[in-house]
A and B are shown apart, each in its own frame.
Chain A
Amino acid sequence: DIQMTQSPSAMSASVGDRVTITCRASQGISDYLAWFQQKPGKVPKRLIYAASSLESGVPSRFSGSGSGTQFTLTISSLQPEDFATYYCLQHNSYPLTFGPGTKVDIK
């Protein structure tokens, strides 16, 4: 099974900060990697698919990069509505696996 790790597990940031979250796969997954944002009580929302493609309607301050085993989600200028938990998901092979999540809260 492919294990996904994320770092950091939590972070405090201010509005306007540049935020970078890293996801690592235990083996190569090509670009079968998606990033999700989830707010309390809400359904996860996909932000990025195929490692670097921006979901329609998602602000351009979100970007993704990487391939193989290391991936990055970047928020170029954190906005108040971006405080949430972020997850990566590998869908290269079954069982699909999510990262443990990164909680971004207000400094």
Chain B
Amino acid sequence: EVQLVESGGGLVQPGGSLRLSCAGSGFTFSTYAMSWVRQALGKGLEWVSGISGSGGSTHYVDSVRGRFTISRDNSKNTLYLQMNSLRAEDTAVYYCATLGSTFHYWGQGTLVTVSS
């Protein structure tokens, strides 16, 4: 059974940092591109960042470029999102997901709250 389990969310002050993790199991992790998608309370879905299966190619939405870094450790079957210089508007549930046409799974999400 394919599983994606996020962790690392929590309360952080504006300007602070947080690292999210997503542990994958039940599939060959290194084969698939991965993404982070977020959703602020009561708002729509926003794709945040993506990374190729090898980790050699990364992509970001403009609002997080330069502040967030996506990475993966295929030996540990784990995806990461390092979030620096956090702002109130980064408050959201963060999901990791594989968004391919033929291989499509989402985790349950982890809540990040940026507040003083």
Contacts of B46 in A (CB 8 A): 98
CB closest residue in chain B, given A33: B101
Q: Give the interface size bracket for A toward B.
A: 20 to 34
CB closest residue in chain A, given B102: A49
A89 on the B face (CB < 8 A): yes
Alpha-carbon distance between A29 and B100 when the two chains are bound, in angstroms: 15
Total contacting residues, chain B, CB less than 8 A: 21
The reply to whether A97 and B47 contact each other, CB–CB distance below 8 Å, is yes
A28 on the B face (CB < 8 A): no
The reply to whether A96 and B35 contact each other, CB–CB distance below 8 Å, is yes
The reply to whether A43 and B95 contact each other, CB–CB distance below 8 Å, is yes
Question: Which residues of A30-51 have CB atoms within 8 Å of chain B's CB atoms?
Answer: 32, 34, 36, 38, 43-44, 46, 49-50
- Give the interface of B toward A (CB within 8 A): 35, 37, 44-47, 50, 59-62, 95, 99-102, 104, 106-109
